[in-house]
Chains A and B, each alone.
Chain A
Amino acid sequence: MELVALQGLNFVYISLTLALVALGLAVVFGLLGVMNMAHGEFVMLGAYSVLVVQNAGLPLLAALPLALAVCAAVGWLLEYFVIRHLYRRPFDTLLATWGLAILMREIVEAVFGRDYKSVNQSLPGTVEVFGAVYPAYRVVLMALMVAFFAGLFLWYRRSNTGARIKAMVSNPALATAVGVNTAVLARGAFIFGVCMAGLAGVALAPLVRVEPYMGIDYLLSSFFILVVGGLGSLVGLLVGSTVIGGSDAIVSAITSKTGGYMTVLVISILFLWLRPNGIVARD
């Protein structure tokens, strides 16, 4: 029973964190068609923000505004100088952002050094949930993520921005004609996307390794989630995270972690091949 509860909590946790990490990429890839290879590097920026806050002796929450400010600034720079020139050239954005990812890594390495940094647990210790001993920080984080996704879902459904973004995606020329400023909207969407990546970095920093090369992990898993879940819908994002996180967890539990990893790869390939629009197709 205890093991079942533990595995169940792990399953929910991995699905939520994967969705959180992939959210930014889903916005940028799904709405703008930009395969942002520097996505993981924004997660890294978020994590280093926590480190800066910690070294300055400030509370962990101070990292949130810092991470958002840093990611927004860097995101604006990238969009203005690079991305906006390449919106209609998907392969070129992929290559350019790949180069930018290297740049961001090297800059962080130059500032903070190559070594591993340890971010303190702000909520150390464990609590018992359904008979399973579980890290307290994770439990709080899971509750926050559920609330966050619910809020995001409602906002996107209700707000005008959501409609305008949908309009821009489905018909850029028409959107411009009816007065939607697509350039501003695109920049906004890109900055929002990378800020979400930074947010994920803040949330995960106390749990993971923090170093300049940490981004690549998040990039790849995010791509797989988008592939399975489909682009352009929040539900798809959550479904994709559940499928990827779940199949990895289940196969890893039964066989080995290598088996789980290869299963994720095979599932991704099958989805790309047979259901390129994902489980939840774009509406």
Chain B
Amino acid sequence: MNRRTLLKSSTAAALLAMTLAGPVTSAFAADDPVKVGILIPQSGPGGLFGPSSKNSAELAVEEINAGGGILGRMVEPFYADVGGPPSDAIQAALKLWKGEKVDAFIGMHDSAVRGALDNLFKGQVPYIYTPVYEGGECADGVYVLGETPAQQLEPVIPWMAENKGASKWYLIGNDYNWPRDTNAAAKTYIEASGGTVVGEEYLPFTADNFDSNLAKIKDSGADAVLVTLVGGASVGFNRAFASFGLSDDVTRLGTLIEENTLAGIGAENSKNLFSSAGYFANIDTEPAKKFAEAYKAKFGDDAPVLNSLGESVYDGLLLLKAIADKAGSLDVAAMEKAAEGVSYSGPRGEATLEQRHTTKDIYLAEANGADFTVVETFSNVGAGDNCQ
């Protein structure tokens, strides 16, 4: 019996992996590029945001390199799909970290994956987390760009009370951490603005019929609804909401209703729909317009629509550059010392890093058909206290 051939065939899987994984390099030189791992969802429920995230990243890399790169070195992006469960994401990140030896990570994914990556990186590699999230991240080497509930709601709820007469709030979200934490924050702001919470409800991810919720909302006499449903559930809910004629009298506010979700909701169902975020595709400022034009020029008119999640990856690279340039290194220890107070400027406006989170402008937009129009800008809103 030929043991050698058998051995080879029995481990063909590993062989396959080896040949596909590419060479494992360890040589390092000063003019080597800065390798940045860009973790974005390209499959699964978040896969919707993959294309716009990737485009934003490519644009950022191109612009940073045109301006001299990070620490004088060119940026080389490595993309990985983190749209699956954390176990898949860990593999993808490890492959870039240990295999490609990337110097830093930008991540646009859910908090379960973030928790897994925290545990993987353990502060040994800089990691910038970019999407909207529930707050509370405080690990070494992690810098958060996304909006926290405090940022999205603290200034917005009083504004809604004052300008839209929102006083009786109904809170509805999917049954997981982000909506629960968002609503916990919302309650304090609602009370502070003199309003009351008339209902609070969480739906499983599988929910596709919202009739009972709409009946409850109607029955509760709410005049405002805070929507923390995500993706398809948000689309389905908002469509049903409008079809029952509720949108005529009840104002909706979402903290994760971006351009794609609005397109799914449809122009005829978007009456009295507001959204609060750090970025919208048509913010009326010079940097935002410049960014949108560059995006269009590079990717064409049919490019995936810009949105706060996709764009956050662009800002993530800007933030990485800002911290690294100030620290003079991509070493976590040096970056940790330099991070506090770092500021940069991008499509979202001026932002400053405080307690690992960015203090920045927050925009409140109203749906106008299938587009958003920014109706109010709140300047320099802090992310709240995230390190207890």
Q: Are A and B in direct contact (Cβ within 8 Å)? A: yes
Number of contact residues on B: which range applies?
35 or more
> Which of A132-140, A147-155, A164-172, A267-275 is found at the contact surface with chain B?
A132-140
Q: In the complex the two chains form, is A6's CB within 8 Å of B218's CB?
A: yes
Q: In the complex the two chains form, is A120's CB within 8 Å of B245's CB?
A: no
Q: In the complex the two chains form, is B47's CB within 8 Å of A114's CB?
A: yes
A220 at the interface (CB under 8 A from B): yes
Bound complex: CA A115 to CA B259 (Å): 10
With A118-B267, A124-B268, A220-B206: A257-B260 Cβ-Cβ less than 8 Å: no
Instruction: Report chain A residues within 8 Å CB of B45.
Output: 213
1/0 per position for B227-265, CB-CB distance to A under 8 A?
000001001100110011100000000000000110111
Q: In the complex the two chains form, is A256's CB within 8 Å of B201's CB?
A: yes
Bound complex: CA A125 to CA B211 (Å): 17
Bound complex: CA A213 to CA B87 (Å): 22
Q: In the complex the two chains form, is B243's CB within 8 Å of A211's CB?
A: no
B204 at the interface (CB under 8 A from A): yes
Q: In the complex the two chains form, is B48's CB within 8 Å of A209's CB?
A: no
Give the shortest distance, in Å, between B172 (CB) and chain A (any CB).
9
Q: In the complex the two chains form, is B211's CB within 8 Å of A249's CB?
A: yes
With A10-B212, A118-B266, A213-B45: A208-B175 Cβ-Cβ less than 8 Å: no
A84 at the interface (CB under 8 A from B): no
Q: In the complex the two chains form, is A258's CB within 8 Å of B202's CB?
A: yes
Instruction: Report chain A residues within 8 Å CB of B175.
Output: 258
Q: In the complex the two chains form, is A3's CB within 8 Å of B219's CB?
A: yes
1/0 per position for A93-137, CB-CB distance to B under 8 A?
000000000000000000001111111110011100000011101
Q: In the complex the two chains form, is B206's CB within 8 Å of A138's CB?
A: no
A41 at the interface (CB under 8 A from B): no
1/0 per position for A246-269, CB-CB distance to B under 8 A?
001100110011101100000000
Instruction: Report chain B residues within 8 Å CB of A121.
Output: 243, 268
Bound complex: CA A13 to CA B243 (Å): 14
**Which of B215, B240, B260 makes the CB contact (< 8 A) with A253?**
B215
Bound complex: CA A136 to CA B116 (Å): 48
Bound complex: CA A229 to CA B305 (Å): 44
Q: In the complex the two chains form, is B48's CB within 8 Å of A115's CB?
A: yes
A204-246 contacts to B, CB under 8 A, are 207-211, 213-214, 217, 220-221
Q: In the complex the two chains form, is B212's CB within 8 Å of A213's CB?
A: no
Report which residue of B263, B264, B304, B305 has the largest number of chain A beta carbons within 10 angstroms of its beta carbon: B264
**Which of B51, B212, B240, B266 makes the CB contact (< 8 A) with A249?**
B212
Instruction: Report chain B residues within 8 Å CB of A117.
Output: 263-264
B26-66 contacts to A, CB under 8 A, are 45, 47-48, 50-51
A14 at the interface (CB under 8 A from B): yes
Instruction: Report chain B residues within 8 Å CB of A114.
Output: 47-48, 50-51
B14 at the interface (CB under 8 A from A): no
B207 at the interface (CB under 8 A from A): yes
Q: In the complex the two chains form, is B215's CB within 8 Å of A10's CB?
A: yes
Q: Which residue of A lies closest to B302 (CB)?
A: A113
Q: In the complex the two chains form, is A116's CB within 8 Å of B244's CB?
A: no
Bound complex: CA A81 to CA B310 (Å): 40
With A118-B263, A118-B267, A257-B202: A207-B244 Cβ-Cβ less than 8 Å: no
A1-32 contacts to B, CB under 8 A, are 3, 6-7, 10, 13-14
With A115-B48, A115-B263: A211-B232 Cβ-Cβ less than 8 Å: yes
Give the shortest distance, in Å, between A122 (CB) and chain B (any CB).
11
Instruction: Report chain B residues within 8 Å CB of A257.
Output: 201-204, 207, 212-213
**Which of A125, A209, A253, A256 makes the CB contact (< 8 A) with B264?**
A209
Give the shortest distance, in Å, between B130 (CB) and chain A (any CB).
20
Give the shortest distance, in Å, between B382 (CB) and chain A (any CB).
33
Instruction: Report chain B residues within 8 Å CB of A120.
Output: 266, 268
Q: In the complex the two chains form, is B203's CB within 8 Å of A13's CB?
A: no
Give the shortest distance, in Å, between B319 (CB) and chain A (any CB).
27
Bound complex: CA A230 to CA B6 (Å): 51
Q: Which residue of A lies closest to B211 (CB)?
A: A10
Q: Which residue of A lies closest to B172 (CB)?
A: A257
Bound complex: CA A213 to CA B206 (Å): 12
Q: Which residue of B lies closest to A253 (CB)?
A: B212
Give the shortest distance, in Å, between A18 (CB) and chain B (any CB).
9
Bound complex: CA A117 to CA B262 (Å): 10
Bound complex: CA A256 to CA B304 (Å): 36
With A116-B232, A121-B268: A260-B212 Cβ-Cβ less than 8 Å: yes
Instruction: Report chain A residues within 8 Å CB of B264.
Output: 115-118, 209-211
Bound complex: CA A118 to CA B264 (Å): 5
6 closest A-B pairs by CB? A116-B264, A118-B266, A209-B235, A252-B212, A10-B211, A135-B243
- Residues of B bordering A, CB below 8 Å: 45, 47-48, 50-51, 175, 201-204, 206-209, 211-213, 215-216, 218-219, 232, 235-236, 239-240, 243-245, 260-261, 263-269, 304-305, 370
- Residues of A bordering B, CB below 8 Å: 3, 6-7, 10, 13-14, 113-121, 124-126, 133-135, 137-138, 207-211, 213-214, 217, 220-221, 248-249, 252-253, 256-258, 260-261
- Since A133-B244, A209-B239 are in contact, a sample of 19 more A-B pairs with Cβ atoms closer than 8 Å, ordered by chain A residue number, is A3-B219, A7-B215, A14-B211, A113-B304, A114-B47, A114-B48, A115-B48, A115-B304, A116-B263, A118-B265, A118-B266, A120-B266, A121-B268, A125-B245, A208-B208, A208-B236, A213-B45, A257-B203, A258-B204
